[in-house]
Amino acid sequence: MKEKSSNKKKRPPLSPAAQRGRQIREERRRRKRRRFFRAVLILLAVIAIAALILIFGFRLKTVNVTGNSRYTNEEILDLLQFDDASYQNTLLFYFEKRNMDVAGIPFIDAIYMDIGGVDTINVEVVEKVVTGCIEDNGNYIYIDTDGIVCEISDTRQEDTPLIEGLDYENPQLNQMLTVTDENVYNTLLSLTLQLQKYELSADKVIFDADGSMSMQMGDIQVMLGTSGNMEDKIAEVNNLLPELTSRGLKGTLHLENYDSTTDSIIFTKES
């Protein structure tokens, strides 16, 4: 049996024009590869420069705190876990803390922040408006404008009036304090807002069984009666209290029958 020949035909040599075309195509491919690698290197360089800027250019150095009265600046910074002695990135700090959950932090309603510069964060603390506290078996129950128990503590906040005369049940943190007459919360809110308006403070707010109320302000007891005309009554307190205290007087200021006339204002000096 004869074996078939397996010899392949030789390709004819390329013409000079074809060789030139091949060289041109190879050169184009090389140029594309060079452009691609150059673009990759530029991109990597840009990323590296951006990373260096983010790391070293956005080093957090200053956190400005405003709006806080019940907490010191240092306490707020501790809550935010800011430590100026260690490295912290401004952008990372902002995005991590800007939606901070404050539900379990007493007296704080919200914390807002914005970026004040490459090394600065501005923090605004919004505190709850506390209308007063109730003493209960050695603890103080703090309630806000909605009657929500915002803190139960054995510490008395000196700028918070002590509320007496309320009938309440089973205080629970972050729950509304159950009282016999829930209208008392509207009365407390109105009183608190008017006191804040004139930068006044009461030591005690006392509710009587007949629905009338009074305040103790140092050595002066202020009889307010019902919640009617609260704005005008506190305006009169603001007008009269400085004179009474400057004269060292002790006694009772009667405003329960106040009707915008001076005859309805009576001060009974303590004997």
Residue 120's CB is within 10 A of a number of other CB atoms, namely 14
Residues in contact with 149: Cβ distance below 8 Å, sequence separation at least 6, in sequence order? 141, 142, 143, 171, 172, 173, 174, 175, 176, 177
Task: Using CB atoms within 10 Å of the CB of residue 111, give its burial: 0 to 12 exposed, 13 to 18 middle, 19+ buried.
Answer: buried
Q: Which is it for strands 130-136 and 168-169: parallel, antiparallel or unpaired?
A: unpaired
pLDDT per residue of the chain (271 residues) written in tens, 0 to 9: 455 555 556 667 767 777 777 778 888 888 888 888 989 999 998 998 888 777 777 889 999 999 999 999 999 999 999 987 777 899 999 999 999 999 888 899 999 999 999 999 999 999 998 999 999 999 999 999 889 999 999 999 888 999 999 989 889 998 999 998 888 888 999 999 999 999 999 999 999 988 899 999 999 999 999 888 899 999 999 999 999 999 999 999 999 988 888 888 889 998 7
pTM recorded for the entire structure? 0.71
CA–CA gap between residue 43 and residue 63 (Å, rounded): 34
Task: Name the helix (H) or strand (E) containing 36.
Answer: helix 16-52
Phi/psi for 83 (5° steps) reads -135, 110
The fold for domain 62-127 equals: Ubiquitin-like (UB roll) (3.10.20)
CA–CA gap between residue 189 and residue 144 (Å, rounded): 9
Q: pLDDT, tens digit, for every residue of 152-164?
A: 999 998 889 999 9
For 130-269, give the CATH class: alpha beta
**What are the boundaries of each domain within the chain?**
23-57, 62-127, 130-269
Helix axes 183-197, 230-246, angle to 10 degrees: 50
CA–CA gap between residue 194 and residue 199 (Å, rounded): 8
CA–CA gap between residue 116 and residue 239 (Å, rounded): 42
